[in-house]
Chains A and B, each alone.
Chain A
Amino acid sequence: MERYAKISKKDFNRWLESLEDHGKLYGPKKKDGRHVFRPIKDVKELDLNYISTILPPKKYYFPQKERLLKFKIKPFKTAKAIRKFEEFVLFGVHTCDIAGIQCMDVVFRQEPLDANYINRKDRMTTVGIECLTPCDKYANCVSMGNHVPKGGYDIMLTDVGNKYIIHINSAKAESILRQRSYIKKCISADRYLLDAVRKKKEKIFKEEFIGRLTELYAVFSKLYDSEIWKDVGKRCVGCGNCTAVCPTCYCFDVLDEVSLNLNDGLRYRLWNSCQMDDFAKVAGGEDFRPGRSARQRHRYYRKFKYPIDKFSRYFCTGCGRCSRTCMAEINLTETVNSLIREHRNVSIGI
């Protein structure tokens, strides 16, 4: 099969309906003026014209609260908590969130392998949708280079008017396209349309940061002690929204729950956040990252410094969720730009 195919918009819902053979369908849906990923029961509910969902799709391969282990207290017994992992199609994912999936992959595919994560991820088919216009003032996807598709998906859809161009990026993708007569080969005119869309994007998508990523690395290497962190910390209310909505935050806590027979139970992991008061506390009560400014700085360093050293990859996807969700209006783009400005001033000796 070719690497590109196309589908006319009038056939689109037909295709969506045919996906049920491939597992449960999840996609963006309206909720209270925002969008959320939800199971799509009726394909008409799917709304591909959306600004980043409240939570990123990480909830499907790294659920908020996830069973790790089944146990009996007496006699001591453990067992698998999840016997079956279901196939599912994650439909309509933005390129920023696909970058998030790639980041999580890098972490969870490291030894020791995280069985739960991998078992879910292996059963996920990702269908992306390319953004054609910048979403809002919060996103910084252009600076992160995530406003255009860069792999990490099975299928990418690009809207070119009355049809979608389909980029086929895996064997799995082929199997959800084949034997459907309404999915057609691309001709050169279609490729021309795709190129035109991308050219137009280049003009309307503007870099949000005032510096490039290479400069950013130097900035974060130098400005650990900047006063900017104090200011961010002062405004931070410590609610943890920024980490919950981040597609590349994966910190968690582990806890046990026992049933009312007081013997059978489950061990869970639950999303946790470096912004919480007890996160870096040890048994004796010592807190190794006290204060909101150190915690906010830690969050930024986990996006712009530590993962670059470890994985050669920025862990900010540019989705803008942390800024969009912050009631204290701590804005990632503004913080990064002030850091860049301060770094430039320091360099020239102001």
Chain B
Amino acid sequence: MFQSEFKKILPYSPYRSMPAEIIMVKQYTNLEKLFRLRLKKNNKDFNYMPGQFAEISMFGRGEAPISICSSPTDKGYFEITVRNVGTLTSALHNLKKGDVVGVRGPFGKGFPVENFFGNDILIVAGGLGIVPLRGLIRYIMYHRKDFGAVNILLGCRSPKDMLFNNEIGQWGRHLDILFRCTVDRADPDWQGNIGLITELIPGVNLNPMRTYAVVVGPPLMYKFVIKELLKKEIPDRQIIVSLERRMKCGLGKCGHCQINGVYVCQNGPVFKYSDIRNMEEAF
């Protein structure tokens, strides 16, 4: 009778998912599919930056944090690429055009593109690391003249594991981008490099003081790639990484994504190497 005078019920729940329709599905490899999504409610825009992630839901199956792989310059939709590894992702793989999924987000901090403008960019992508970086690459391509030299190094297991192969062909043909690719295991048609991605770094001609290196890949890769980048004298504040964790809430509460004192879902997933180099739990 009296307390209700004090506080109204907060109607807003940060756990509520927005419906998004799948408008295109593209299978890249045996394990990976790209989904193009559009929010259903009044064509509301999904305002994000490359490097951010969304919590994707299928009710009854659960929810998982998934990197956005498109760029905000792609208007009217956003894209995610999903590897079939668990309960939710295998169910996602069964979805078709016209199906609806739940979306929360975007969450986290994306790539600091505001720092990148006017500078050279070296992108190092290993395995699934290309997924968030593809959004960044598309963003850079769109604003190409605002950046200096752009180098892209891509490593994957074998040619048939390569994601976005249709676009990668184009990157290679762009005159204003240096694109190099390496695989662990080649097939007979492969004409690129064979070997570790770290082996490509010494051959890149760069000006360390004006280069931002952006590295995304499996946990093991960071240590070796960063070592090579530091050898090239790129300052550690100009080395940008994105870390994978299992963010359950995206709100800095549930604790799963914590690295020492920071929450990846809020302080990351994109970090300056200088900010996390001393955190033991980072890599």
* Chains A and B touch (C-beta atoms under 8 A apart): yes
Give 1 or 0 for each of B254-280: 1 = CB within 8 Å of chain A CB: 111011110000000000000000001
Q: Is A38 an interface residue (CB 8 A)?
A: no
Whether the pair A118, B10 counts as a contact (CB closer than 8 A) is yes
Taking CB as reference atom, which chain A residue is nearest B278?
A224
Interface stretch (choices A53-61, A68-76, A327-335): A68-76
Q: B252 to chain A: which residues have CB within 8 Å?
A: 110
Q: Is B145 an interface residue (CB 8 A)?
A: no
Interface stretch (choices A188-196, A284-292, A317-325): A284-292
Taking CB as reference atom, which chain B residue is nearest A243?
B255
Shortest A260–chain B CB gap in Å is 12
Taking CB as reference atom, which chain B residue is nearest A121?
B7
For chain A, give the interface size range: 35 or more
Say which residue of A68, A72, A283 sits within 8 Å of B13 (CB atoms).
Answer: A68
Give 1 or 0 for each of B3-18: 1 = CB within 8 Å of chain A CB: 1101101111111110
Q: Is B152 an interface residue (CB 8 A)?
A: no
Q: How far is the CA of A75 from the CA of B6 in the complex (A)?
A: 38
Q: How far is the CA of A13 from the CA of B177 in the complex (A)?
A: 80
Given A107-B253, A252-B254, A282-B246, A115:B3 Cβ within 8 A: no
Whether the pair B251, A112 counts as a contact (CB closer than 8 A) is yes
Taking CB as reference atom, which chain B residue is nearest A87?
B3
Whether the pair A254, B251 counts as a contact (CB closer than 8 A) is no
Say which residue of B13, B62, B219 sits within 8 Å of A256 (CB atoms).
Answer: B62
Interface residues of B in 1-49 (CB under 8 A from A): 1-4, 6-7, 9-17, 19
Q: Is B157 an interface residue (CB 8 A)?
A: no
Q: B64 to chain A: which residues have CB within 8 Å?
A: 283
Taking CB as reference atom, which chain B residue is nearest A175?
B2
Q: A125 to chain B: which residues have CB within 8 Å?
A: 3
Whether the pair A113, B261 counts as a contact (CB closer than 8 A) is no
Q: A282 to chain B: which residues have CB within 8 Å?
A: 244-246
Given A254-B254, A256-B60, A80:B11 Cβ within 8 A: yes
Whether the pair A250, B261 counts as a contact (CB closer than 8 A) is no
Given A76-B102, A310-B261, A115:B253 Cβ within 8 A: no
For chain B, give the interface size range: 35 or more
Q: Is A185 an interface residue (CB 8 A)?
A: no
Q: How far is the CA of A255 from the CA of B63 in the complex (A)?
A: 8
> Considering residues B4, B16, B58, B60, which has the most beta carbons from chain A within 10 angstroms of its beta carbon?
B60
Whether the pair B280, A224 counts as a contact (CB closer than 8 A) is yes
Taking CB as reference atom, which chain A residue is nearest B40?
A76
Given A280-B256, A286-B219, A289-B281, A119:B10 Cβ within 8 A: yes
Interface residues of A in 80-126 (CB under 8 A from B): 80, 85, 87, 107-108, 110, 112-116, 118-119, 122-123, 125
Q: How far is the CA of A267 from the CA of B102 in the complex (A)?
A: 13
Whether the pair A85, B253 counts as a contact (CB closer than 8 A) is no
Q: Is B180 an interface residue (CB 8 A)?
A: no
Q: A107 to chain B: which residues have CB within 8 Å?
A: 253
Q: Is A182 an interface residue (CB 8 A)?
A: no
Q: A294 to chain B: which residues have CB within 8 Å?
A: 281
Q: B256 to chain A: which residues have CB within 8 Å?
A: 251, 253, 272, 279-280
Whether the pair B11, A265 counts as a contact (CB closer than 8 A) is no
Q: Is A274 an interface residue (CB 8 A)?
A: yes
Interface residues of A in 179-209 (CB under 8 A from B): none
Say which residue of A21, A119, A172, A252 sits within 8 Å of B6 (CB atoms).
Answer: A172
Whether the pair B261, A284 counts as a contact (CB closer than 8 A) is no
Shortest A276–chain B CB gap in Å is 10
Q: Is A213 an interface residue (CB 8 A)?
A: no
Whether the pair A255, B246 counts as a contact (CB closer than 8 A) is no
Q: How far is the CA of A250 from the CA of B245 in the complex (A)?
A: 18
Taking CB as reference atom, which chain B residue is nearest A285?
B85
Q: Is B96 an interface residue (CB 8 A)?
A: no
Whether the pair B3, A114 counts as a contact (CB closer than 8 A) is no
Given A76-B100, A78-B102, A175-B2, A114:B59 Cβ within 8 A: no
Q: How far is the CA of A253 from the CA of B3 in the complex (A)?
A: 32
Q: How far is the CA of A283 from the CA of B157 in the complex (A)?
A: 19
Shortest A229–chain B CB gap in Å is 11
Shortest B31–chain A CB gap in Å is 11
Q: How far is the CA of A282 from the CA of B244 in the complex (A)?
A: 7
Q: How far is the CA of A73 from the CA of B58 in the complex (A)?
A: 8
Whether the pair B254, A123 counts as a contact (CB closer than 8 A) is no
**22 residue pairs from A and B, CB less than 8 Å apart:** A21-B1, A22-B2, A69-B16, A76-B19, A76-B100, A87-B4, A112-B251, A113-B10, A115-B12, A116-B13, A125-B3, A251-B255, A252-B253, A256-B59, A256-B61, A256-B63, A272-B254, A272-B256, A280-B245, A280-B258, A283-B85, A294-B281
**A residues within 8 Å of B by Cβ?**
21-23, 68-69, 71-73, 75-76, 78, 80, 85, 87, 107-108, 110, 112-116, 118-119, 122-123, 125, 171-172, 175, 224, 250-256, 258, 262, 265, 267, 269, 272, 274, 279-284, 286, 288-289, 294, 298, 301, 305-306, 309-310
The 7 lowest CB-CB distance pairs between A and B, nearest first, are: A251-B255, A122-B7, A306-B261, A71-B59, A76-B100, A68-B15, A115-B10
* Beyond known contacts A69-B13, A76-B102, A258-B59: 17 more, CB 8 A cutoff: A21-B1, A78-B17, A87-B3, A119-B10, A123-B3, A224-B280, A253-B256, A254-B15, A254-B63, A254-B248, A256-B63, A267-B15, A281-B246, A283-B86, A283-B246, A288-B219, A289-B281
